[in-house]
Structure 1
Amino acid sequence: MSVTAQSVWNNCLEFIKDNIQPQAYKTWFEPILAVKLSDNSLSIQVPSKFFYEWLEEHYVKILKVALTKELGETAKLVYIIKMENTYGNKQPFTERIPSSNRSSVKAQDVDIPLNNKSPELRNPFVIPGIRNVKIESQLNPNYSFENFLEGDSNRLARSAGLAVASKPGGTSFNPLLIFGGVGLGKTHLAHAIGVDIKDKYPEKTVLYISAEKFTQQYIDSVKKNNRNDFIHFYQIIDILIIDDVQFLSGKTGTQDVFFHIFNHLHQNGKQVILTSDKAPVDMQDIEQRLLSRFKWGLSAELQSPDFETRVSILKNKLYRDGVEMPEDIVEYVAKNIKSNIRELEGAIISLIAQSSFNKKEITIDLAKQVVEKFVKNTKREVSIDYIQKIVSDYFQMDVDTLQSKTRKRHIVQARQLAMFFAKKLTKASLASIGSQIGKRDHATVLHACKTVDNLTSTDKQFRKYVEDLSKKLAV
């Protein structure tokens, strides 16, 4: 009996079927077709590049074992990646990839031409039954660079955003990750980049989406059994903006699919822009392979604006709304609301509303009433300096001693407690905490937090330190 591609592949399938879950076998191996056998190389046809990436990521070892059993140590596997007619592309694209030596796989060599004008493309943003292939950007044109005022707190992120908007996919800022606390302008800046790109490059497909909506679309695609359509849709985007990427934490399926979409876009020179409330190093329950890709480009932090920037933001807001306000009142609001831009603008809107509804003149007294309500209703965020002072006073030492290089046990513990509470009570990144508490790196802060957790559960005296300081720092 002659050995054919089909007979070799059938034997491989028998072995694979015995070693993996039935559902996985049905999903990832049944659709594969054996095409030809030549010189110890078996050619198999897979439906898409994503399919090939998944096999190489998850089943390379079992494929190697199965093929080696049939064809010996010199066995090679050749993938023929054939796009379905969904994209009007009937020509297979072949790439020779030895599965027995995965380190030589270069996914970027596999390039599948996609035609985004196909009327059969399933757009997850379109209501089923309504024929519409146009991809709306989901951008808010009111968020622009013009009304994103520059200051020391955002200069790096804003400059990087302008560079990306001028040359999307063509700078080293790919991906561009913008991170920072609530209300500091991450979403505004992400939209501004997208809006600017649409103005400069109208032919490019730009898409803004929240990570939460992306996750929901992925779940829907799995339920409706059109997951590949979901993936292919996102692979045709030229500029993908994902807001609040930390929402993917713990969602392994969504992370996995985003990993493959990200790889495809990055390898094909497409731009990825992400926002997060944390730096990559602080993200919990995000796969390492995804975090490493977040670090390929630039991570730019948005910090709380300084007084001058807060004044400029308020004046700009008043100018856009056509409202005049005395300088001393603007400065009073800017001086007393420091947490974030959203609250700053909210206070000025409240002040204008109080004035117009109650037919009152805008005075310092009215400003004090509004600001007082705002500050009272807003959870106060303590500063790292304040935490260091409270911890130092508690242990009867000065802040310089706390920050010093000494390894004396009680000083080390005080320093670790300051780092622990800084992480717990502020939105600062680990790197920022380390920098402010004795010029340490983020790894030291991470170690300090783990040490405090361990000692709290094992050492009664140390637990009392934590409880006492928690009360003193209660906000």
Structure 2
Amino acid sequence: MSVAASQDVQPPHAAGSAAKTDFARNVWNACLEIIKGKINNQAFKTWFTPITPIQFSDNELTIEVPSQFFYEWIEENYSSYLKDALKEILGTEGRLMYSIVMDKSQVNPVTIELPHQDIAKESPSGASRSAQRGKEKEERDRFEKNKARFESHLNPKYTFSSLIRGDCNSLAFAASKSVAQSPGQNAFNPLVIYGGVGLGKTHMMQAIGNQVREQHISDSILYVSSEKFAIDFVNAIQNGNIQEFSSFYRTIDVLIIDDIQFFAGKEKTQEEIFHIFNTLHQSNKQIILSSDRPIKEIKGIEERLLSRFNWGLSVDLQPPDYETRKAIIQSKLEQNGVMLDANIIDFIATNVTHNVRELEGCIVKLLAAHSLFNQEIDLAFTKSTLKDIIRIQSKQLTLETIEKAVCSYFSITPNDLKGKSKKKEIATGRQVAMYLSKELTASSLKTIGLHFGGRDHSTVIHGCSTVSKKMEHSMEMRNTIEELKKRIEIMSM
């Protein structure tokens, strides 16, 4: 359907700018109707809705795009759709120009000839057109180094199916699944996942991105560490590409940023994040963040940014309980096509309690040693191979043993430990006992709570969390835990 044949798209008979603008709008709308039927709706809204037709003259349509970055993406990914649409609407002689907004204060037009045009039919100004094309190629080459930004940086192995669900991550798992099913369309925006090292934050966030892509909800997904974001931001400032940097991030449908505590103290980076956050949130784009601690405990982040981080839902990841640790080990073994005796799995699950990464590391080391020495994996071989990781063989360890060690260390009685006293030394001793019981034994949270005065599992979780946080900031608490572990090891022999 060319202009000459179309009844809906007729060229302007007046030379006025208003007529040219109206006709440009008609031509562009006709092109959009063709393109809309060939790409998914999310991609159409992201890359074509922001474009504005501004002029039509001499069979040449001029459209305005937000940035050079935007133009590069359109040309790289959708030029064939534009070519076909222009050919159908304007015929083979139709041409397209881009007017690119480089910043808010000025407009730098860049003329792009569509690939279907016949170069041999260049007019006397062909030399200048060739020079222009050379300039455009240089610009494309200059921006080629940014091409990696368009990659999602998602690891395909990080999926919900490979993520073991347990009490330690059940809320985070449910919230993440909900976000993956309808990104940006629920109250969980932003979704903030926090917890210690090796608990699966990155796995869970990337699982969201992978499911969004799998279900074809959107291809505009980006996972980036806060450190890389900050480095790229500084480079953009130094290279004069800050507008392109900002425009790119504002086109993302699902933005995943890992370890936001790294932004602490970086004022300029926080300023950029603030504006990107506002744009995405107002456009119902999904934001997913992770941190090694609750948002309110991050120091060095502007209050207005912290406030926005708290707009959605924050969920925490706890160290995996015994049952979850066993499930993680079994899953890792299945992935490697290996079967181990139940007593070996129990031994590892009982003794390796800190995080998921450490558990997986044990399996990798055990399988590597088995391959190198061609020796059967039995309990003795397992203990020998993992001796530098597992220092306390706690299979015979009981809650009573931990109770005795803690009471002796803090000079308190078992009745104090199980009572309701909130004196500092007693409350600390009680929390330490719960922490060690959870870390060194296979007892459930319910069993630990019942043993230490009939408390519920939430009290145990709080006590363990309190000790973990104190260990992060207090050398005294770390020394206390290490000393108690040594005493318990001796008592367990």
- Range of TM-score over shorter length: 0.5 to 0.7
The reply on whether 1:304 has 2:304 as its aligned counterpart is no
- Distance of 1:268 and 1:194 partners within structure 2: 18
- Once the two structures are superposed, the pairs formed by residues 21-40 of structure 1 within 5 Å of their partners are none
Instruction: Give 1:211 shift.
Output: 0.4
1:121–1:284 distance in 2 versus 1, CA, 3 Å: farther
The reply on whether 1:281 has 2:296 as its aligned counterpart is yes
The reply on whether 1:355 has 2:384 as its aligned counterpart is no
The reply on whether 1:130 has 2:83 as its aligned counterpart is no
Q: Which moved more, 1:395-404 or 1:289-298?
A: 395-404
CA contact (8 A) 1:121 1:233 kept: no
Instruction: Give 1:201 shift.
Output: 2.5
Deviation string, structure 1 residues 27-65 (Cα, Å, up to 9, x no partner): xxxxxxxxxxxxxxxxxxxxxxxxxxxxxxxxxxxxxxx
The reply on whether 1:151 has 2:166 as its aligned counterpart is yes
Instruction: Give 1:187 shift.
Output: 0.6
Matched residue of 2:194: which SS? strand
* Alignment partner, residue 259 of structure 1: 274
- The equivalent position to 1:214 in structure 2, one of 229, 232, 244, is 229
* Alignment partner, residue 175 of structure 2: 160
* Alignment partner, residue 244 of structure 2: 229
* Alignment partner, residue 198 of structure 1: 213
The percentage of counterpart residues that share the same residue type is 37
- Distance of 1:387 and 1:258 partners within structure 2: 47
* Alignment partner, residue 56 of structure 1: none
Q: Read off the aligned partner of 1:119 and give its amino acid letter.
A: E
- Distance of 1:466 and 1:303 partners within structure 2: 20
- The equivalent position to 1:330 in structure 2, one of 345, 366, 373, is 345
- Segments of 5+ residues of structure 1 without an aligned counterpart are 1-86, 92-111, 378-385, 428-434, 454-462
CA contact (8 A) 1:246 1:276 kept: yes
- Distance of 2:431 and 2:271 partners within structure 1: 33
Matched residue of 2:388: which SS? helix
Q: Read off the aligned partner of 2:144 and give its amino acid letter.
A: I
CA contact (8 A) 2:366 2:382 kept: yes
1:348–1:291 distance in 2 versus 1, CA, 3 Å: same
Aligned CA RMSD, in angstroms, stands at 4.4
- Distance of 1:413 and 1:346 partners within structure 2: 36
CA contact (8 A) 2:193 2:291 kept: yes
- Distance of 2:205 and 2:141 partners within structure 1: 26
Instruction: Give 1:226 shift.
Output: 2.4
Matched residue of 1:284: which SS? coil
- The equivalent position to 2:71 in structure 1, one of 108, 118, 121, is 118
CA contact (8 A) 2:421 2:427 kept: no
Matched residue of 2:192: which SS? strand
Q: Read off the aligned partner of 1:183 and give its amino acid letter.
A: G
Deviation string, structure 1 residues 72-116 (Cα, Å, up to 9, x no partner): xxxxxxxxxxxxxxx75588xxxxxxxxxxxxxxxxxxxx99688
Instruction: Give 1:343 shift.
Output: 1.0
Q: Read off the aligned partner of 2:269 and give its amino acid letter.
A: T
Count of residues in Structure 1 that have an aligned counterpart in Structure 2: 332
- Distance of 2:188 and 2:420 partners within structure 1: 36
**Quick check: which has more Rg, 1 or 2?**
2
- The equivalent position to 1:364 in structure 2, one of 366, 371, 379, is 379
Instruction: Give 1:348 shift.
Output: 1.0
Instruction: Give 1:393 shift.
Output: 5.5
CA contact (8 A) 1:164 1:171 kept: yes
Instruction: Give 1:150 shift.
Output: 0.8
Instruction: Give 1:375 shift.
Output: 2.8
Instruction: Give 1:247 shift.
Output: 1.0
Matched residue of 1:142: which SS? coil
Deviation string, structure 1 residues 126-166 (Cα, Å, up to 9, x no partner): 98452876821111111111110111111111111110000
- Once the two structures are superposed, the pairs formed by residues 441-460 of structure 1 within 5 Å of their partners are none
CA contact (8 A) 2:409 2:484 kept: no
Instruction: Give 1:258 shift.
Output: 0.6
Matched residue of 1:373: which SS? coil
- Distance of 2:380 and 2:251 partners within structure 1: 56
- Distance of 2:343 and 2:173 partners within structure 1: 29
Query: TM-score scaled to structure 1, two decimals?
Result: 0.59
Matched residue of 1:119: which SS? helix
CA contact (8 A) 2:410 2:429 kept: no
- Distance of 2:165 and 2:307 partners within structure 1: 29
Matched residue of 2:209: which SS? helix
CA contact (8 A) 2:159 2:211 kept: yes
1:310–1:413 distance in 2 versus 1, CA, 3 Å: closer
- Distance of 1:469 and 1:330 partners within structure 2: 29
Matched residue of 1:374: which SS? coil
The reply on whether 1:340 has 2:355 as its aligned counterpart is yes
- Distance of 1:399 and 1:252 partners within structure 2: 51
Instruction: Give 1:171 shift.
Output: 1.3
1:205–1:370 distance in 2 versus 1, CA, 3 Å: same
Q: Read off the aligned partner of 1:185 and give its amino acid letter.
A: G
Matched residue of 2:71: which SS? coil
- Distance of 2:365 and 2:251 partners within structure 1: 44
Q: Read off the aligned partner of 2:165 and give its amino acid letter.
A: E
- Distance of 1:325 and 1:148 partners within structure 2: 21
1:156–1:177 distance in 2 versus 1, CA, 3 Å: same
Query: TM-score scaled to structure 2, two decimals?
Result: 0.57
1:438–1:343 distance in 2 versus 1, CA, 3 Å: closer
Instruction: Give 1:257 shift.
Output: 1.0
1:122–1:280 distance in 2 versus 1, CA, 3 Å: farther
* Alignment partner, residue 182 of structure 1: 197
CA contact (8 A) 2:340 2:377 kept: yes
Deviation string, structure 1 residues 149-204 (Cα, Å, up to 9, x no partner): 11111111111111000000011111111111111111111111100001113544
- Distance of 2:193 and 2:236 partners within structure 1: 28
Q: Read off the aligned partner of 1:190 and give its amino acid letter.
A: M
Q: Read off the aligned partner of 1:176 and give its amino acid letter.
A: L
